[in-house]
Amino acid sequence: TGSGALTFTMNIYQDENHQNLVTNEVIDLGQKLYFKIEVQTTSSDIELHLTQCKATSTDNVNDANNYTFIQSG
């Protein structure tokens, strides 16, 4: 066991090979998106499991006006 700070990155791509980043701010409903989430660490003991991902038009994660991309992942 231990403690420390970890850095996470998330990118959204247009293709499943993670070659073409989504660069526009507007994403159409129904548009296929491919997410790549990584944790930057030298430890081999860390696994990353994304269970939920949603978007809101505000910085409030609990905003009732939201769209869920991933649920029960």
Distance between CA atoms of residues 53 and 67, nearest Å: 9
pTM value > 0.75:
no
Place 1 in a pLDDT band, splitting at 50, 70 and 90.
Answer: low
Distance between CA atoms of residues 37 and 46, nearest Å: 13
Give pLDDT, residue 73: 63
Give pLDDT, residue 29: 79
Q: Which residue has the tokens 């700070």?
A: 5
Give pLDDT, residue 11: 92
Q: How do residues 16-72 score in pLDDT, each as one tens digit?
A: 999 999 988 788 878 888 989 888 888 778 888 888 888 888 999 899 999 887 877
Distance between CA atoms of residues 34 and 51, nearest Å: 15
> Could you tell me which residues are beta bridge partners of residue 52?
71
